[in-house]
Amino acid sequence: MTIEDDPAIRRGIVDSLKATGYVVWQAERADEGVRMSLGKPCDLVLLDLVLPGGDGLDVLAEIRREKPTLPVIVLTARGEEYDRVRGLRLGADDYVVKPFSVDELLARVEAVLRRSPARSATHAALNFPSGEIDWNSRELRCRDGRVHVLSEREAKLLDYLARHPGRVIDRDELLRGVWQIDAKGVTTRTVDMHVARLRDKLRPACDDSEVIKTVRGQGYMMDPSVVEPT
């Protein structure tokens, strides 16, 4: 997610991130940026400080209140020590002063994502009637002794669905949130095939019931009864 009011800079950031394989949301106003950062699935926010519709540091403070582990890199022409210190004290994960090179920005994005608490956060806790999952090994261990190893994509798909129990999630959101790709021009059959394989592996641990429900014409929903409350 990039929040930047300068069209040329925003376009350069967005194009560079997309070329590297990221899906990018973009906003040019502070209020719009807050709404999208809190409402869209995203792994990191690139935030300008001088914005129409509000101050960038206020945006940072709001993000920290609502999503304390969401990484934020501040991008600004303000180079004074006071602004850097204030931004870092409000919870910015990094601080890049304009002008900056694309290579530097991408390197900082990758570094922040690697150490992001959100990336290392505990996975959704699941309570299967006849089995359990080990997220570290991606092993689904059934009480009858069978063990199914989930692929990395299957594990991410299961975790994403389990983090939104009882909510119908359409295929486009799953492509963005799990595959990290824009749904435009991509067949949703990919999602359906992964869901089918995941269901087959889950069935022995779920007493042959389907905990991933199909909502016709809308998408998929995780049965909330197997998701432990947090």
Write the CB contacts of 196 (distance below 8 Å, at least 6 apart in sequence). Answer: none
Are 104 and 123 in contact by the 8 Å Cβ rule? The answer is no
Q: How far apart are CA 162 and CA 177, in angstroms?
A: 13
Q: Note the pLDDT of residue 91.
A: 83
| Longest distance between any two alpha carbons in the chain, whole Å | 63
Burial 74-105 (b: 16+ CB within 10 A, else e): bbbebeeeebbebbeebbbbbbbeeeeeeeeb
77 and 41 together in one domain: yes
**120 in any annotated domain:** no
Q: What is the extent of the structural domain holding 187?
A: 131-226
H helix intervals, 90-230: 102-115, 152-162, 171-177, 189-202
39 and 70 together in one domain: yes
92 and 167 together in one domain: no
Does the pTM exceed 0.75? no
186-212: pLDDT as tens digits:
566 889 999 999 999 999 999 998 999
**177 in any annotated domain:** yes
Q: Note the pLDDT of residue 188.
A: 66
111-137: pLDDT as tens digits:
887 776 554 455 778 989 999 998 878
Domain end residue (candidates: 115, 142, 159) = 115
Query: What CATH number is attached to the domain comprising 211?
Result: 1.10.10.10
29-65: pLDDT as tens digits:
999 999 999 888 788 999 998 899 998 999 999 998 8
21 and 107 together in one domain: yes
163 and 69 together in one domain: no
**200 in any annotated domain:** yes
**98 in any annotated domain:** yes
The count of residues in the chain is 230
**Weakest-pLDDT range from 15-19, 21-25, 98-102, 132-136:** 21-25
**122 in any annotated domain:** no
- The most confident of 15-19, 91-95, 140-144, by mean pLDDT: 140-144
**124 in any annotated domain:** no
**Weakest-pLDDT range from 2-16, 35-49, 82-96:** 82-96
133-189: pLDDT as tens digits:
988 788 999 999 999 999 888 988 999 899 888 999 988 888 877 876 766 655 668
Domain total of the chain: 2
**121 in any annotated domain:** no
107 and 135 together in one domain: no
